[in-house]
Amino acid sequence: MTPTDASTLPPTPPWWRFPIVWFALAGPMLVVVAGFATMAIAYRHADVVLVEATTATATGRSGARPGSTAPALQARNHAATPPARP
């Protein structure tokens, strides 16, 4: 066997000539493009802010609906009770 000399080896192509490099970079590039597309859609079609005029309730909280101030256990237990018979 003869030792190989660096001058006898064929030149190595640049990194962008290998298809596996583009395959490996395609995933992250796709995520960046999808992120910008999502950001553009969110910016263009943003929901408008609704301002409702509400009055203070008996609990002192303004803007609270009557059902939203009930304690969680009371609401859960009430949903499990059978209806009252007349």
Tokens 């301002």, residue? 51
- Read off the pLDDT of residues 12-30 as tens digits, 9 standing for 90 and up: 999 999 999 999 999 999 9
- What confidence score (pLDDT) does residue 3 get? 64
Sites in the chain below the pLDDT cut of 70: 1-4, 6, 53-80, 86
- What confidence score (pLDDT) does residue 67 get? 56
Tokens 């237990």, residue? 77
State how far the alpha carbon of 16 is from the alpha carbons of 19, 20, 28, 43, 70, in Å. Answer: 7, 9, 16, 35, 64
In the predicted model, what is the mean pLDDT of the chain?
77
CA distance 65 to 54: 9
CA distance 21 to 51: 52
